[in-house]
């Protein structure tokens, strides 16, 4: 049950780098959560875009309550091991996971976006598509009909995954890459920017 003094839940972001900056803008535009602050193990600054650095990842358990959600905002270029480790800490602490979707994105009412994932500005997720947990669907990415994107994938800016393709866990698809129809992308794959994959 929400605190009667507020009408929106809180969100804590984990990771204070460039990806965090972009996600903050999406959260502000969506206006679904109140940003409580950021956890970052390496940040020397006291804030990110005016939101306070609350401490290191070890503070996760201290910040958990029924009105606070968490989102991993560490970026994912090729390797997702850091994001995976953070997710394990969140699971161990039984933290609530946020799902963030830009109001400037299009997500079909017949698509599924699972918890811990973020859909950035002007992204497109078509009908019967499924996006797994802790995924980044970045700015202007296009997920076509019937596509399944498994957990911990980063679908980069302006990339296209065409209909009925299957993207296995931990995959990184670079900017402006295109995946043809019905293609299976194996676990932990790295697709370079601008590549065309047809089988």
Tell me the per-residue pLDDT of 78-127, one tens digit each, with 9 for 90 and over.
788 999 999 999 999 999 999 999 999 999 999 999 999 999 999 999 99
Say if strands 51-55 and 47-48 run parallel, antiparallel, or are unpaired. antiparallel
Query: Two tokens at 71?
Result: 């989102």
- The answer to whether residue 9 scores a pLDDT higher than 80 is yes
- Band of pLDDT at residue 76, cut at 50, 70 and 90: confident
pLDDT given at position 58: 87
Q: DSSP string covering 130-184, please?
A: EE-TT-EE-TT-EE-TT-EE-TT-EE-TT-EE-TT-EE-TT-EE-TT-EE-TTPE
pLDDT exceeds cutoff 60 at 188: yes
H or E stretch at 13:
strand 10-14
pTM here is 0.93
Dig out the tokens for 16 from the structure. 């204070």
By the 8 A CB rule, do 34 and 10 touch? yes
Cβ–Cβ < 8 Å for 163, 182:
yes
pLDDT of residue 6: 61
Q: Which residues of 52-72 are buried (b: 16+ CB within 10 A; e: fewer)?
A: ebbbeeeebeebbeeebbbbb
Report the C-alpha gap between 168 and 15 in whole angstroms: 24
Q: What is the pLDDT of residue 1?
A: 39
pLDDT score recorded for residue 94: 94
* β-sheet bridge partners, residue 106: 124
For strand 196-197 and strand 178-179, is the pairing parallel, antiparallel, or unpaired? parallel
Contacts of 101 (CB under 8 A, 6+ apart): 26, 30, 107, 113, 118, 119
pLDDT tens digits, residue range 135-156? 999 999 999 999 999 999 999 9
pLDDT digits 0-9 by tens, 18-68: 999 999 999 999 999 999 999 998 777 789 999 999 999 889 999 999 999
- Predicted confidence at residue 57, as pLDDT, reads 85
- Please tell me the predicted confidence (pLDDT) of residue 2: 45
């Amino acid at each position: 049950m929400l605190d009667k003094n507020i009408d929106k839940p809180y969100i804590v972001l984990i990771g204070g780098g460039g990806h965090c900056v972009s996600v903050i803008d999406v959260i502000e535009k969506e206006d679904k959560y109140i940003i409580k602050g950021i956890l970052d193990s390496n940040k020397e600054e006291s804030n990110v875009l005016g939101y306070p650095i609350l401490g290191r990842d070890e503070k996760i358990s201290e910040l958990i309550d029924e009105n606070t959600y968490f989102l991993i905002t560490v970026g994912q270029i090729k390797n997702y091991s850091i994001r995976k480790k953070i997710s394990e800490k969140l699971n161990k602490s039984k933290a609530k996971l946020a799902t963030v979707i830009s109001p400037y994105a299009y997500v079909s009412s017949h698509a599924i976006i699972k918890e811990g994932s973020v859909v950035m500005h002007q992204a497109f997720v078509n009908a019967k598509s499924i996006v797994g947990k802790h995924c980044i669907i970045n700015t202007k990415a296009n997920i076509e009909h019937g596509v399944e994107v498994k957990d911990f994938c980063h679908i980069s800016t302006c990339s296209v995954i065409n209909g009925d393709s299957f993207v296995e866990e931990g995959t990184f698809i670079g900017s402006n890459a295109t995946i043809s129809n019905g293609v299976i992308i194996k676990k932990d794959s790295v697709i370079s920017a601008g590549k065309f994959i047809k089988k």
